[in-house]
Structure formats: C-alpha cells, structure tokens
Structure 1
Amino acid sequence: MSCYLQKLVFLLVYMERHTANPALSIGEVGQTVHPYQNVQFVSVGMNISVEQGEDAIFACHTKNLDGLQIVWRKGYAVLAAGRSMISQDTRLSLATSNNKNSLRLQKVTPEDRGNYTCEVTTKHKILQLHHTLTVLVHPTISAVSRLVRVTEYEEAILKCEFSGLPNPTVNWYSESGQKLSADKTCSVNSTSCLRILQVTRQSAGPFTCEATNGVGKPANDKILLSVSYKPVIDLELFDDRTIQNLTLSCKVEGDPQPMVSWYKDGRDLADIGYPTSIYRTRNIPQTNTFLLTVVRSEAAVFGNYTCEASNPVGTTRSHVEVHGRPTTPTLVGTQPGVGGSSRILIWKTMSLFPLLEYTILYKQMNGAQWITVTVPDHNNFNNNPMSIYEVSSLVSNLIEDQEYETIIQARNAYGWSDPSRIFSFKTNQESAWGQPLYSSSSCSSLLHSSSCCIILVYFISFIYL
C-alpha cells in the first residue's frame, strides 16, 4: 500500500475518533487526557479453516475502545477502517456493535487464504489481533490418459493428476477392488502413478485412482489398461460319424483381433480353391471360433491341417493330422482257453477302412522278452461310416497260473494304429470282462476320446481317423 493511502487511512481514523468525542478536538490536543491506555482485545487470534465456497468470519471484540477505530488488513492491504469499507471486494462486509467488530468474507476461494489482522492504534502503540484463514478445497483427480495400451510382458505406467487442500492422498485399486501401491519414483508434485512390471493379458481391465483429503467426498477416475498379445489357439476336432463329416474347431484369442487362415499340407485353402462340397468354413463371432468342416468322401482329404492366427503382435499356428489309420485297440476281456496254458483275448477297435491284421505282443509279468503274434482279420467290413471291430484270438503256450502283460495293434491300408496300453491277464482265471469300448447310446458323449471316435489330438496334433 502506498504511503499516501496509509496517511489517508490514518487521517480518516483520526477524524472519526475526534468527531465521536468532541473533547478531543484538534484545537485541544495539548490539553488532552488519553483514556485509551486500557484498550484490550477480548477476542483471540484464530486459525480458521473454511471449505471453498463457504463464508469466513473474523471476530475482533474489544474492551475500553472508547471511540478508537478498528482497521482490518490482509497483509499490507487495508480492507476496512472504522465503519468504512476500503476494499473493492464486494464479498467483504462489516458488522459492528458497541465493542464488537466482525469482518465477514463470503464464498471464500483458495486465493483468500492468509493472515487477517484487526488493528487498533493508540497514541503510544498499535494493538494487533491476527487470524489465519485456511481454505479447504475438495479433492479432484483425473486420468492423464483414460486408455493405456501396452504389449504383453512390457511395463505399464498409469498416471492421474490431482488437486485439493490439504494435499490429497491418492490410492489405486484394481477391478477386483484390491488396493495397489503407487510408485513413488514416478509420482511427483500433483501426479500419482501406478507402475505394473511385465503386464500379462490377465492384467487388462479398468484401474481406479482415488483422491481423499477429508474435505467432502473422495474423487476418483478410471483408466482402462489394454494389453496386446499374440494369438492363442485351442484346436479341436469333432467327428460326426453319421454324415461322415469331420470338423476342425479353432478357438482363437488375441489382441488386436487376429485374422485366421486354414492350410492343408502347407497350402492356403482359400488360395487352392478346394470344392465347397468337400471343405466348408464358417465363424462363430461370439466365441471367436473358426470352423473347418471336411467331408470324408475320399482319401484325398487326408493330410496335415493348420489353423493360423495373426495380428500385429505375432503369428501362432496349430496343426493336426487327418488320416485313415485305426483307433487304438482296447481289451474288452479275456476267457479261458484250452486247458490252463492258453487264453482267449477279446478287443475292439474302429476304422473307416477295412482292417487287415493285428499284432499281439505278450510276455510274462516282470519278464524281459516280448513274444509277437500276427493275427489276420477275418471280419466282414460293413459300409457304416465308422466300422467297429470286435476281435478275439487264442494265445497259446502260456504257463499255468501266471500273470501276463499284452499290447495290441491294428492295421489297415493306411497304416498301424497306436499301440494299446498294457493290459494284464492271468491264466487259470475265470472269464474277466472290462468296460465295453462303445455303445450306440454313449459314444456321442465320448467325442473327445480316441477309443470311441478314432480321434487323437495333440499339438503338433495327430488325429486318427
């Protein structure tokens, strides 16, 4: 405040004081007895905290004021003197009554914070009463970017900017509500950040930053973390025996959404232009599943099939082999042979093409040498889409009352089946029957079983037809 304005304020106070008490006129100054030596403040200085937008009241109650005037200041700026407002701020107003004086500030803002002084000037000294105003501001917070996209196994940094008085505390939460710790190395000034090292696709989803400072309600904002990753393929094969159809199901996941292509023996089916009477493709968008249906009308459909999925992150392939070899034989049971030195083995297998022969390998339990027997197939092949063969064969020259192990394989024109698992049987035993290989009422529930549907899938997947 300029020296001129200070003098003007002093003159106004002086004149108002002597106008209120004619005994203290200018002409009588030399004769004045000063009754102001006992002036006191009844109010005490306060630390006042007010939320933004509310009103603040500063009290300045005195005793023995005896016509002296009160001056209100904020710092060096004079706000009011006596009953007169000096400040042009219309939010300020005075309330005076006898020795009670109050300054009201309406709708405070953060810029209003600071020291407010009530001041009384006597002939010998200046008395001051100080109030400190703190403006409380509701927290605010906003995401620097509401969408953060990273590639799988990279680092992700999520940032939120916040404000408020007092300075808010910021917490981070995952989609499940788990509280996460902010990274102090990248949280500076009014920015809080969450650092996630080596994100995985499971990390994707919304994250919440929340600011609290005890004023009003907490504030929050959300950031969506998007994780790009190369395609993941789940390749399965389904066999509809009633219409001789074979369906390859390729379920694909990836971000961004992958493009899918089908190959046979390394050649793109779309480029080769196979007839739709043999190959049909369709998609199920809701499950990201891509289907290739093969009609087994001829052996030419046998080969290696590939489902290929590509996106900007990478390419993934999964393979299956479609062929005409028999299923793995399953031992159904055994019966006594002639005497105690032989045993009848009964097994089942399935084949799209006529079976030619079987191989039986057997040895005494805990023995070292396997004995091989070749058994020709004498069954009549029928024209069903999938023929089920039940075969029995007599194994002779066994030792009575001993336990044996056996392995069985089947062959058709397209090759040998996989060896069966090792079955055990005992001579001099009554008939022993295991679970049947197939029944018309239950095979439909076993479509993933190689023993029922002559399908075996594994990655580089081999499928037996």
Structure 2
Amino acid sequence: MSSRGNRHTLTIRHVQQEDFGNYSCVADNSLGRSKKYMEVSGRPGPADFLSPPWSRSTDSFNLTWKVESYPPLQEVRLLYRKLMMNETFQQPGRWNDVILTPTPRPPSEPLTHVMAFTLRGLQHSSVYEAIVQAKNRYGWNEVSDIFQFYTQRISSDTHSEEMQVASSTSRSGATSLHRTPPTSTVFPWTLMAAVLSLLASFIGTSGGLVAYTRSMQLIG
C-alpha cells in the first residue's frame, strides 16, 4: 500500500483466486468516520458493443463486442429481438437466444476478448435490440446495456416512394390548371358601346327616331 498526501492506493499484484472478495476502506479524523466498499471479482466485466448501429444489408447484421476477463471465457450468451414500431408506440418482440463458445484470446490481449457474430434472416427496414452476457470459471457477468441496430431498406421501397411522390406532383399540377379562371370576352363591352352611340345619335338630331331606326337596320 502506498500513500501520497491524502491519496492512498492498494495494489494487488499477480491476482489469484484468493484475492477476490469484498474490500473496505475506513477513514477517521476528528470529525468522524467514513467507510466505503469495493468488490474485486474474477467474473467478466460487462460487454461493450463495437459495431456501428446501421447495417449495410437488408437482412443481416454483424455484431461485434468486447469483454474484459482475466480468466478465459467459457460461454457467451447473445440475445436479440425485433422492435415493433409505428407512429404511436413501440412493442418489443420475443428474445432470440444464441449460445456461443469463445475462441482462445491472443497473447497480445491478455484481458480483452473481442467477439463477433452475424445475425441472418432479419427483416428489412427494421429496428432490433441485442444484449450480451459472458461467463468464465468464476461465473456470469452483468448483462450488457441494450444495443439498438437497424437494417437497410430494400431498393424497391425507395423506388415505390419516388413514384408516389412524382404521381402526387403530377396530380397537383393538373388540378392547378383547372383552377385557372377563363379569360373574359370583349363582346359585351363592344355591344354596350354601340348602344350608347345609338342613343347619343337619337338625342342629338331632330330626326332621332328615324336615325335610330336606320341604325338598328344597319345592325340587323
């Protein structure tokens, strides 16, 4: 054990099975006492997923994760499920259970176990969840955090959506043409001007009635 000021460190070298267990640290001063506990366990640490969430495939996904463990891993349990989703709710499906046997880790990675598994037969345009749990000779670790991943959409879905958008745009353009108001004809205004001219001739001449009659004959 080493101390530097108020910092105290206990270092356990060449950890053996008898070193595993609960450790407590007690500190006293004139104001009282404080105690903290910590467990040193030989069980694996929680798994961390390394895969990006977006798949390049419509029906498969390559899951990659790592686990820290001093002893070799004996068994790994992978569970995954599909999420049923729409605009108002999401409902998880049933877990699918896969049991894996780890391969021996390389000497350059004495504590880190990196594993991968490809899930096949997935549905396109879907959301899935996965968790991992690992076991060594000291027992199972805690279940990992949930990892969400997504499968690609098939090209026909994208093409269908583009056709629907194009069709909708065409219908919208056709409708706008029907809404264009018709151009007003000038015939009623020409007839009105002719009538006014005839009335002026009728009033402004002594033979107004005769002039009006002749004008009507000309119009006829």
Pick the TM interval, shorter chain: 0.5 to 0.7
Is the 2:55–2:150 contact (alpha carbons within 8 Å) kept by the matching residues of 1?
A: no
Alignment of 1:266-305 (within 5 A): 281-284=1-4, 287-305=5-23
**For each residue in 1:64-93, what CA deviation from the matched residue of structure 2 results, as whole angstroms up to 9, or x when unmatched?**
xxxxxxxxxxxxxxxxxxxxxxxxxxxxxx
- Which is richer in helix? 2
2:16 and 2:108 mapped to 1: Cα distance? 15
SS across alignment from 2:117? strand
Which structure carries more strand by proportion?
1
- In structure 2, how many angstroms separate the alpha carbons of the residues matched to 1:398 and 1:294? 47
Residues 314 and 385 of structure 1, relative CA distance in 2, 3 Å threshold:
farther
| Whole-Å separation in 2 of the counterparts to 1:409 and 1:417 | 6
Deviation digits for residues 301-342 of structure 1 (CA, Å, limit 9, x no counterpart): 1111111112344221101001122222122116869x7333
Which residue of structure 2 lines up, in the alignment, with residue 420 of structure 1?
Answer: 144
C-alpha distance in structure 1 between counterparts of 2:107 and 2:15, whole Å: 13
Task: Tell me how far 1:385 sits from its aligned partner.
Answer: 7.2
Is contact 1:328-1:418 (8 Å) kept? yes
- Taking a change above 3 Å as real, the CA distance of residues 384 and 315 of structure 1, as seen in their structure-2 partners, is farther
Distance 1:401 1:323 in 2: 41
**Aligned pairs for 1:37-436 within 5 A:** 281-284=1-4, 287-333=5-51, 340-365=58-83, 366-383=90-107, 386-428=110-152
Preserved contact between residue 357 and residue 374 of structure 1 (Cα < 8 Å):
no
Asked which structure has the greater RCO (Cα within 8 Å, sep 6+), the reply is 2
- Indicate the structure (1 or 2) with the bigger Cα radius of gyration: 1
Relative to structure 1, the CA distance from residue 417 to residue 295 in structure 2 (aligned partners, 3 Å threshold; closer, same or farther) is: same
* Number of aligned residue pairs: 147
Q: TM-score when scaled to structure 1?
A: 0.29
The amino acid that maps onto 1:307 is C
* Rounded Cα–Cα distance in structure 1 between residues aligned with 2:40 and 2:12: 10
User: 1:408 and 1:310, CA in 2 relative to 1: closer, same or farther beyond 3 A?
Assistant: same
Aligned residue number for residue 123 of structure 1: none
CA distance in 1, matches of 2:61, 2:78: 13
CA distance in 2, matches of 1:393, 1:328: 17
Which amino acid in structure 2 is aligned with residue 367 of structure 1? Answer: Q
CA RMSD of aligned residues (A): 2.7
Deviation at 1:382, TM superposition (A): 4.0
Distance 2:108 2:136 in 1: 16
Q: Aligned partners of 1:425 and 1:306: how far apart in 2?
A: 40
**Number of the residue aligned with 1:175:** none
**CA shift in 2, pair 1:378/1:288, >3 Å:** closer
- Counterparts of 1:414 and 1:343, CA distance in 2: 31
How far apart, CA to CA, are the structure 2 residues paired with 1:296 and 1:302? 12
Cα distance in 2 for residues equivalent to 1:321 and 1:422: 24
Match for residue 441 of structure 1?
none
Name the CA distance, whole Å, in 1 between partners of 2:139 and 2:147: 22
Q: Is the 8 A contact 2:76 2:102 kept in 1?
A: no
Matches within 5 A, 1:429-448: none
Cα 1:413–1:283 shift into 2, 3 Å: same
Could you say what secondary structure the match of 1:300 adopts? helix
Distance 2:63 2:102 in 1: 16
Aligned-partner residue type, residue 29 of structure 2 = N
Structure 2 length-normalised TM: 0.58
